[in-house]
Structure 1
Amino acid sequence: MELFQHTITKAITLSGEGVISGKEILLELCPAPPNHGIVFERADLPSPISIPVGPETAHAIDGASLVALGKYRIIYVEHLLSALNGLSIDNILIKVYGDEIPLFDGSAKAFVEAIISVGRQPQWALRRYVRLEEEIIVREGEKSIVISPADTLAIDYEIDFAHPVIGHQKFSFELSQEKYVSQVCMARTFAFLEDLAVLREKGLLRGGSLENALVLDDKQVLNPDGLHFPDEFVRHKTLDLLGDLYLFGAPILAKIKATRASHKLHLRAVKALGESLYAWRWYPSPGRAPLKPAAVSLPAFAA
């Protein structure tokens, strides 16, 4: 666990294609002061709108998570939030010149590489964790998420798709920066060709290609480079869960067992956590006296 809060050392600029709009989307990731939290900003508007991350602004649709304030939203936030969770970034302002986050290659790799390239800045403020004291369970038919007390964030994810390339997969993961970089951040999102065709016909998908996701027909993966991991699909679901959990607005200490879950069920778990004040507490307590923060290097990214 990190004792102190962290931001990034300097601003980062990224750009990529929005898969919904088909337009080039500019992102600016900016350092932020202690206790600022993670805040998205619709910087493309005449009067920019700030959307702080928390259960109240968190939402999910089929295949994506988003933050929204009033009529303004930013979709596909999960991969960027996953990178921030995986690298323990607490305070950051994310300026988005559009209403979606580019998918890049469909993983969190682009965000991880960018953050590692500038490094993290420790801050003179305690990092506060949500620590589970009682179990929370959300279910939807055969889908479920069980959140139990633990001293770290540990995830057991299980998926089952009736597809010859995916099938039944399990992945267990205990969060650390090194493990996130080497085992999770490169796992790409996946989609089925027939579903993409329907979205395009409806005009809901103007961008996107084999560069943005793993695409499967009824028999195989269509991407020429194949899979990064034999179980890349369940690793990506773990990546998504790490991002969706960060929509709570603080790091969580718990053991989480997710079975056949989705963004919508992830968000139901986040909101259930927010509503179950009896089931968790802040750790450490605000009165704990800290030592002076020291700079900590990030793990090297191996392509």
Structure 2
Amino acid sequence: MNVFRNAVLAGLFTLAAGAAAQAQVSSISTPPQGSVWNTMASVIAGQARESAGMGLVVQPYGGNAQMMQAVNDGLAEYSLNDVNDVITAVGGTGEYAAALPNLRVIARINPFPIGLYVKESSGMTAVSALAGKSVPSGWDAFPIARSHISAILAAGGLTWDDVKQVPVPELIRGSDDMASGRVDSAFFAVGGPKVAEIDASVGGVRFLTVDANDETLAAIQKVRPAFYFSEVAPAPVRVGVPEPMMFVTWDNVLLAGAHVSDEQVGQLLAAIFDNKDAIAKAYPPLGALNIETAFKEYPGVEYHPGAVAFFKERGVAQSPAE
């Protein structure tokens, strides 16, 4: 009888432990609500909960440095970021005073076009038209924007010395200041929900065009080595893109901390790539998800071993850095 009872108790303990592990809550660190990364993370987390039963939640932070620090220190399991910023964070250069060695890439998610946008009533259509106009600067709570705007200005043949600099603290505030007239332009990613909000509040916005050629490509890659140009076509979710336009672009990557188990990483990647159609339906910019291009080599950063195992199992070879 005691043997039977002990076996039953052991079985119950195993089931309870399994249920607890399944219910374990993990988080994706993001910028504030209204940002593209926050929206993307919310969709990914929702799909992971629905299809894989993962206890995944979105945790907003004030900016990239806080997001990366949280993952590095084990306070968050995952994050979404510009691969250029990840390279900088791991190396402890640029805006990062100390290296964050525990960041691991787990997948290339999509190309991430960015730009400066203005009120449609301004009459401006190109970045070059911002000469003598005001551009958001400072970015104390979102310092990654400094390098991004430097690249956008360079792609329009301008530098910071050619524009009026108006300090803004972070991404959402920058768009609000443009709407109120405090600054002539705002910085955001194409497809950002905040852009649609501003568009509705001011009677129309548009992104400014850049000059995409070999000379400006060299200029933007001096700012960050993994920047490139991509063409973006109009679509309902891409507010402010009235015709096919070229944008400064980076690869958006999903990260995990070194403390996250291989099993958890593989489970999340399976939830994403096995349900990419549902994810794209929830947020169209994620329609660029493609397992065949998701395992891309980048200088200065490592892939999580759980991701390496996942792609090997799916027969996906690593593509070289551009």
Please indicate the TM-score interval, normalised by the length of the shorter structure: under 0.3
Which is greater in Rg?
A: 2
Higher helix share: 2
The higher-RCO structure (CA 8 Å, 6+ apart) is: 1
What TM-score do you get using the length of structure 2 for normalisation?
0.25
What TM-score do you get using the length of structure 1 for normalisation?
0.26
Higher strand share: 1
